Chain A
């Protein structure tokens, strides 16, 4: 069963998948890693992004990545609104961690059920010229429908890295993530900064959702598989580090891909979760440390 080109292709596919997983996780790296907001509903926003891409693409034929980018500002506003509710309900009243978790859990669930009611449980897909063809280098296949999302994901990552490091608001976000008290003492309002950051984190879901539906057909309950993946990658990568998160995403992508190739796809969901459990048990600070 084991053949070299099968293995190499599995690794390559895993790398491309990992690149995409980074797009999926970057939002949570911001909301949870930097802002300490346990947004486990992030997959629901990603699924929303996928279905928005589906609607516009199937009705108007627009390229899904374009849709994702254009809709990002809308998701940004939705994210800011969600943060407002969260802030009013929880941060103002002080630490109530179960309620905060329950809130996002409810959001995750409502999101999935709402999508089921609106679209049913059938798989939906988009049409684009790069879904189908592949590049070939010897025995290595590079399906465009995975290569392009991977590239877009890395571009988005790079842009966010630049934004956080070079712009005023970006650096304010980094400051908030590191020392809330210091920021308050400097009379900058942390909740305004956090609202913007949370909005950005949800905006990434718009793009990630578009990329997802390019890679594979989607149906509403797929979001659940991603909760574990996202947090596994976040923890593996050390919570706040972008490069660490990327490394973690690639690692999980490769292991999932190899598992699916040699042991069958029904074991794949367990991989990320198993990794997560292992990491949490052994090294809660992640690979590259916090």
Chain B
């Protein structure tokens, strides 16, 4: 399926989901949970652009996510811009952060890059903790507007925005996958020196990857203040965002745009159910254990398992 056609088809699918869910489902909790699952679709798709496609493991997901959330906080305190604009601004700030991080760390390989991303996240968190304007370590309260644009509850509005963002990020991921850029990123992942020798401008492509990935992650965090109404560094920089962003693409499959969606829906739903029925600490344990199990037994994820079965049947 060509790229333009994919954008059109996926738009139709997303629009259908939006109309059906908002029209038919009355339970408000669905939209609370759905927001989180959609948010994870964006996060894992974004992570996978740098991780699965380019081969660079980013543990500093929390930094980009939180920077997106906090840029919304700043805008909220200084103005009354609508949330979609805040999302775009968050994309800008996180994109710049992604570019900066890439510039500083992309000469590093493997684990050094990963640790450096973690380091950046801690540094960013420390800066926010010490910034009183956004509440510092005490956190900040954000009041949800009374009226949602159009109709319905405010959470339904946030859910709708996140659905659109999920559609956009998935379409972007697939566009990259089928393009010259995607092939170049794969070459970098498989063998960076050989890619460079083959004419691939590795630094430039890596920077594009970190900037885009960071921007999308930041955008997924932009509506968060209105969703949680109380934002603090400890929760917004939480390492669980990193674990989820690694686990979901890995479990779903890192080589294609489908994998992060599978992983996000699967793990996101499990976690939402577990949080309600068991405890939130236990649900994090489940994610961690699943990550370890999959990485040992099925390192190419669910997509990988399906592909292997298909190949076996062909023989």
Contact = CB atoms under 8 A, between A and B. Distances in A.
A280 B105 contact: yes
Contacts of B51: 98
A46 B146 CA distance: 49
A178 to B, nearest CB: 20
Interface of A: 32, 38, 40, 85, 88-89, 93, 96-99, 101-103, 105-107, 109-110, 113-114, 116-117, 224-225, 227-228, 231-232, 235, 266-267, 269-270, 273-274, 276-277, 280-281, 284
B285 A227 contact: no
Interface residues of B, number: 45
B104 A281 contact: yes
B251 to A, nearest CB: 10
A132 B289 CA distance: 40
A159 B32 CA distance: 56
Interface of B: 51-52, 55, 57, 59, 104-105, 107-108, 110-112, 114-116, 118-120, 122-123, 126-127, 129-130, 137, 239-240, 242-243, 246-247, 250, 254, 281-282, 284-285, 287-289, 291-292, 295-296, 299
Contact of B119 (A38, A101, A114, A276): A276
B292 A106 contact: yes
A38 B59 CA distance: 14
A101 B111 CA distance: 7
A269 B124 CA distance: 11
Contact of B116 (A32, A98, A276): A276
B57 A101 contact: yes
A102 B105 contact: no
Contact of B57 (A102, A106, A284): A102
A280 B291 CA distance: 29
A116 B120 contact: no
B127 to A, nearest CB: 8
A274 B254 CA distance: 31
Contacts of A269: 122, 126
